[in-house]
Chain A
Amino acid sequence: MTTVYISRDSGALSLGAEQVAAALRAEAAKRNIHCNLVRNGSRGMYWLEPLVEVATDRGRIAYGPVRVRDVPSLFEADFLQGGSHPLRLGPTDEIPYFKNQERLTFARVGATDPVSLEDYLTYEGYRGLRRALDMAPSAIVDEVTNSGLRGRGGAAFPTGIKWRTVLNTPSDIKYIVCNADEGDSGTFSDRMIMEGDPFVLIEGMTIAGLAVGAAQGYIYLRVEYPHAHRALTEAIEAAYRSGYLGKDILGSGKRFDLEVRLGAGAYVCGEETSLLESLEGKRGLVRFKPPLPAIEGLFGQPTVINNVISLASVPIILDKGGEYYRDYGMGRSRGTLPIQLAGNIKYPGLIEKAFGVTLREILYDYGGGSASGRPIRAVQVGGPLGAYLPESRFDTPLDYEAFSAIWAVLGHGGVVAFDDTVDMARMARYGMEFCAVESCGKCTPCRIGSTRGVEVIDKIMSGIDREKNLVLLRDLSDTLLNGSLCALGGMTPYPVLSALNHFPEDFGVSAAEKVA
């Protein structure tokens, strides 16, 4: 029986994948054809979604984007045998956008049925855990340290060092917390992993538990991701049923329990200490550090808190070795980065590449330029707290250090493109407004300064005392940079000042009279 794949990823669903799946079923029934319809994750090529793949003896053949009205003609073209049709894209693996990636963490996403443990095992799943079960905790931590993995959630702190601290902090109770709050605009790799390969996250967290001696894990998931919630719940249940979670993992006598907890729409709860407060059932106010969460985290116990992608990268590191992973990348940025390309772009999607690929390659070789066909004028990298970059910076390689050298951040790897109709003063205003809406309220520069910042930008935009207000805006940004407890207030100047510095004309300042 032929197997047909159509995604259950929320991006594909948002473009009609459910209706297409229903039409495929109905048309097959009408023609008395039996086929096996598998709901996979997304390959990350969103301009081709809903993408339909058919398993043939020449590999999987892709058709897309498929709309309901295309379904009868697909059957007429004998697509179940890979027949030719205007929507036929050839073998999925040969589509250049896909083929030229280096997929380590995302190797299975789109290939498997996300909630089938059987599929997961067929595609090399749980090999990392099996190896970890035979290793001493310290050796597991060494492997992760050797891989060079740095946290993918934003701050890029070495994961191995964090784990080592938790391992070395004596306590009967320790926790693994997965930060699945993914609030940054333009980022969706956490969502794609959780919807497209939830077992890899579960495996990564289980390995983390073995490494540091933690028996309980929590996934703190944002409430805006109902599809991820469903996939995670199904996968966790399957893992329990087959002994991959629970009190005796694969008969090893080791215990690991895992639970999903939902956030409630607060961006700041992605900040690790605020997240812990929220998990404890409180308002998400940022905590002072020290103590570090690694020493006094959830409910006062030593806690590993890592991003989804950081944890999902652990299974392959344990399976293939730290060195295998470290061989990808450049400088101190080792391994691969799931780059998320969005905004005004012709071919938006997820591209997993070794660090070092340039912004220009991402925007043009992969992205195909803007969706509107107009010039790309500005790119925001790293979410709402990331800098806006002009064309002159497009040759920067994606590398943590190269980005900080141009006063920008890589963050979670989200790239959002804007064409030349963008008004950068408005984007700067939005940056301040976002800070005002999402501030946890603990420190004055962030709580009050952001509201004042919106007012100051409004005055600049209406030409009221422009010179004076520009000085004020820089002053205020300085206070935010230096006087904030966390990066929400501390990095709001990145989008604001980068917009002003790179696009002064949008603020009514000519490039020549740029205020220093």
Chain B
Amino acid sequence: MAEHEWDREQVQEVIRSNKDKPGALLPILHGIQDALGYVPPDSVPLIAGALNLSRAEVHGVISFYHYFRSTPPGKRTIYLCRAESCQAMGSAALESHAKDRLNIDYHETTGDGTFSLEPVYCLGNCACSPSIMIGKDVYGRVTADSFDDIIENMQVDAQ
């Protein structure tokens, strides 16, 4: 895996401002992922040092949670709901459409680095199933057509 450049100072700042909270590890990991889009594996020693934990403990936490990632995501992450209510409204077909259209599987990023695709188990938008979330925006009653519209509009934005 290629090493990615990341801003050590930014990470140190997140650690500094959170490390005295009780149960600081999750807020620190969120802070780093908010700033960089992922938690760089070589930031683990810094976190472990600051919290007096072993690197294995920190790594164990990162790998336990679905949301934390160790590689940079695409410009936009598409979270597609796979849970029951969305299934009842055709999310399985939407899922195949999304994978075909982006030409990637779950946990992958498009070749041009624009989109990552992640499964999610319910967005709480079940009354408007099927649902997806991109960044912090939720979209309801998504069809293959509206999916294409949404990501085409974004591609324009991303340029």
Let me know if B125 is at the binding interface, CB within 8 A. yes
Contact of A186 among B85, B140, B141 (CB under 8 A): B85
Let me know if A98 is at the binding interface, CB within 8 A. no
Tally of A interface residues using CB under 8 Å: 59
Task: Tell me if B25 and A340 are in contact (CB < 8 A).
Answer: no
Task: Tell me if B127 and A188 are in contact (CB < 8 A).
Answer: yes
Known: A13-B137, A340-B127, A384-B83. A224 touches B29 (CB 8 A): no
CB neighbors of B among A253-283 (8 A): 261-267, 278-283
0 or 1 for each of B62-94: is its CB under 8 Å from A? (1 = yes): 001111100000000001000111111100000
Let me know if A14 is at the binding interface, CB within 8 A. yes
Closest-by-CB residue of A relative to B29 is: A264
Task: Tell me if B127 and A11 are in contact (CB < 8 A).
Answer: yes
Contact of B127 among A281, A299, A342, A419 (CB under 8 A): A342
**What is the distance, in angstroms, from A494's C-beta to the closest C-beta of chain B?**
13
Known: A283-B60, A416-B88. A265 touches B124 (CB 8 A): no
Known: A14-B140, A265-B67, A349-B127. A186 touches B84 (CB 8 A): yes
Contact of B138 among A14, A278, A340 (CB under 8 A): A14
A-chain residues with CB within 8 Å of residue B46 when the two chains form the complex: none
Complex CA gap A281/B31 in Å reads: 14
**What is the distance, in angstroms, from B66's C-beta to the closest C-beta of chain A?**
4
A-chain residues with CB within 8 Å of residue B65 when the two chains form the complex: 263-266, 284
Segment touching B, from A177-185, A196-204, A234-242, A500-508: A177-185
Let me know if B116 is at the binding interface, CB within 8 A. no
0 or 1 for each of B127-159: is its CB under 8 Å from A? (1 = yes): 111010100111111000000000000000000
Task: Tell me if A15 and B140 are in contact (CB < 8 A).
Answer: yes
Known: A13-B137, A13-B138, A343-B129. A434 touches B121 (CB 8 A): yes
Tally of B interface residues using CB under 8 Å: 42
Let me know if B126 is at the binding interface, CB within 8 A. yes
Task: Tell me if B122 and A185 are in contact (CB < 8 A).
Answer: yes
Let me know if B24 is at the binding interface, CB within 8 A. yes
**What is the distance, in angstroms, from A307's C-beta to the closest C-beta of chain B?**
14
CB neighbors of B among A215-232 (8 A): 223-227
Known: A11-B140, A13-B137, A343-B84. A188 touches B124 (CB 8 A): yes
B-chain residues with CB within 8 Å of residue A267 when the two chains form the complex: 121
Task: Tell me if B127 and A185 are in contact (CB < 8 A).
Answer: no
Extra contacts, 14 of them, besides A263-B26, A264-B29, A280-B22 (Cβ < 8 A), are: A13-B137, A14-B128, A14-B140, A188-B127, A261-B27, A264-B65, A265-B66, A266-B65, A281-B24, A281-B61, A299-B23, A340-B127, A342-B126, A342-B127
Binding site for A on B (CB under 8 A): 22-27, 29-30, 51, 60-61, 64-68, 79, 83-89, 120-129, 131, 133, 136-141
